[in-house]
Amino acid sequence: MKFKKRLFMFIAMVFLVILAACGGNSDNNNGNTADDDSSDEKSIRIMTNIVGGKTPEENDLFIEEIERLTGIKVDMVKPPSDYNQKLLTSLSSGDKFDLVLVTKELMDRLVDQEVLTVLNDEIENSDILSDPTVIPEEEWDLIKYDEEIYGVFNKFEGGTMPVVRQDWMDKLGLEDPETLDDFYEIFKAFKEQDPNESGKDDTYGLTTAGLYDIQPFLSAAGVKYKYVIDEDGNRTIPIATEKSVPVLEWLNKLYEEELLDPSFATNDGEDMQQMFLSDKVGMVTYWDAWVGLFNNLKQTEDPDTTFEARGLPGAMNDNGEIMLRRGDPSVWVIPTNAENPDVAMEFLEFWHTEEGNILSTLGIKDHDYTVDEDDNYELTEIGKEHGMDHGVVTPNNTNWENPIEVLPGIEEAQDIIMEYATLEVSTADWVDAEKIIENYAFKAIMGEISAEEAVEKMHEELLAADLIDE
């Protein structure tokens, strides 16, 4: 009996020691998890194309800056090309992201596939995102889908417009154009009067990146490039109607007289930018923000440059009206399979604060900009090269005031967009519709078929493919 009693007491003591040791280890682990345990660490996985650093190395710094400012661990996937295709492939394979950056058009397609989270309640319960002085109610109306909100703005989307070499205009004594005839005369002067002073016939009046964006010229006919949907839901694409014939004929005239860069149909955005920056063309059709970026690039390269880009309104129609387009909003969406949707919303709130606005525009502190003891901001040489654009040029926050002087020409350009531009309707069908429109519009502009035949063929094929209703 004594032996059994001693054995029992020994076993009990061993059990207590083990229990105490386990308790002690648990206490130690809990003490460490406040700093190190990843299970308690807020994290988020993001897929984006335009937000972040300008190089892979700088993108790492951008991620570190997000983490410093928010305390959120970030895994950022940023494909170098074919973004939409890689995004769709990732989502269809079940890859999980907490936030994905998309256009409104792509968002609508993903909503139809039922892979996005409705955010109405989260936005309403957010002191930041529900504040109309941050994002006005009419802005939310632009991205609603059947009264539901599936995305939160990345930035304020400007619009596209004619961007002209104002220094060439001044040198040749040219006035701002109002009609298609006025634009023609300017292009003719840019072609024939040697504005780059090279002594060679090496300039064009206009270049584009394909049909991106001829809306400022379609404006003369009161025609929209993309969809128009009436109150009954009937879809039309005005460029595929007889009303656009005079504009297509005018573009053909530019092409035949070599006032339009002959490579316009195969240019991409970078090709177009380089022609404009290298004194080869006097006008492009591009984003309002690029007025400032063009000027910044040239002034950073050469502070004594005479280069000056300036935004212009489009061509007036017979009623004196101008019709430009505002860009398809870019929005952050939360997939339904997101693992950290609450943290995603926390990031979106941060993105619309002053700290988030500074990061998305100016960039990384002590890399793109510095702040002195008097709270004065100054761009570094790298920051000047980046032009205050790390995915956002103008935040979608009405309280935003840039602590550094805005890029030259951008405010005037944005005023033009706000006065004359409206949002175009893409819809999920636009990808297929645009292929038909481009095919025949290119043929008309390059003189392979008449403008009348081009719009007739467009209309027939769009109707046959059930891409329009009338």
* Residues 326, 394: Cα–Cα separation, whole Å: 14
Q: Kindly report which listed range (28-42, 62-76, 147-161, 314-328) carries the lowest average pLDDT score.
A: 28-42
* Residues 405, 312: Cα–Cα separation, whole Å: 22
**Does the pLDDT of residue 250 top 70, yes or no?**
yes
Phi and psi of 83, rounded to 5°? Answer: -60, -55
Select the CATH number that applies to the domain covering 42-157+329-397 from these four: 3.40.190.10, 3.30.2270.10, 1.10.1200.10, 1.10.3720.10.
Answer: 3.40.190.10
Q: Which residues pair with 76 in a beta bridge?
A: 46
User: What is the CB neighbour count within 10 angstroms for residue 90?
Assistant: 17
Q: Kindly report which listed range (32-41, 61-70, 215-224) carries the lowest average pLDDT score.
A: 32-41
**Does the pLDDT of residue 69 top 80, yes or no?**
yes
Extended beta strands in 78-158, E state: 99-103, 151-153
* Residues 417, 424: Cα–Cα separation, whole Å: 13
DSSP state of 34: T
Structure token digits, residue 447: 């003189």
- For range 339-361, the mean pLDDT: 97
Give me the amino acid identity at 23: G
Phi and psi of 145, rounded to 5°? Answer: -125, 105
Element (H, E) at 423: strand 421-423
Of 194, 413, 208, the residue nearest 308 (C-alpha): 413
Q: Which residues make Cβ contacts (< 8 Å) with residue 34, sequence separation at least 6?
A: 40
| Bond from prior residue into 213 cis (ω within 30 degrees of 0) | yes
Q: Which residues pair with 22 in a beta bridge?
A: none
* Residues 59, 53: Cα–Cα separation, whole Å: 4
- For range 437-456, the mean pLDDT: 98
Give me the amino acid identity at 356: G
User: What is the CB neighbour count within 10 angstroms for residue 209?
Assistant: 20
* Residues 293, 384: Cα–Cα separation, whole Å: 10
| Total residues found in the chain within this entry | 470
* Residues 338, 398: Cα–Cα separation, whole Å: 30
| Residue spans of alpha helices (H) in 173-301 | 180-192, 215-218, 245-256, 269-277, 289-301
DSSP state of 38: G
Residues 266 and 153: beta-carbon distance below 8 Å: no
Residue 80's pLDDT is 86
Q: Which residues pair with 152 in a beta bridge?
A: 332
**Does the pLDDT of residue 124 top 70, yes or no?**
yes
Report, in this order, helix, strand and coil percent for the chain, each rounded to 5.
Answer: 45, 15, 40
* Residues 395, 204: Cα–Cα separation, whole Å: 35
* Residues 205, 177: Cα–Cα separation, whole Å: 13
- Which tens digits make up the pLDDT trace of 294-317? 998 899 889 999 999 999 999 999
- pLDDT band, very low/low/confident/very high, at 12 (cuts 50, 70, 90): very low
**CA torsion sign, 9 to 11 to 12 to 18?**
positive
Phi and psi of 53, rounded to 5°? Answer: -80, 165
User: What is the CB neighbour count within 10 angstroms for residue 30?
Assistant: 11
* Residues 283, 166: Cα–Cα separation, whole Å: 9
- For range 220-249, the mean pLDDT: 93
Residues 278 and 298: beta-carbon distance below 8 Å: no
How far is residue 204 from each of residues 113, 195, 217, 258, measured CA to CA in Å?
45, 10, 17, 7
What is the third-level CATH fold of 159-326+422-464? D-Maltodextrin-Binding Protein; domain 2 (3.40.190)
**Distance, CA of 118 to chain centre:** 22
Give me the amino acid identity at 342: D
Mean pLDDT of the chain: 90
Residues 225 and 418: beta-carbon distance below 8 Å: no
- Which tens digits make up the pLDDT trace of 253-297? 999 999 999 999 999 999 999 999 999 999 999 999 899 989 988
* Residues 264, 212: Cα–Cα separation, whole Å: 10
- pLDDT band, very low/low/confident/very high, at 39 (cuts 50, 70, 90): low
Structure token digits, residue 324: 């430009």
* Residues 337, 109: Cα–Cα separation, whole Å: 17
- For range 363-387, the mean pLDDT: 94
**Does the pLDDT of residue 8 top 60, yes or no?**
no
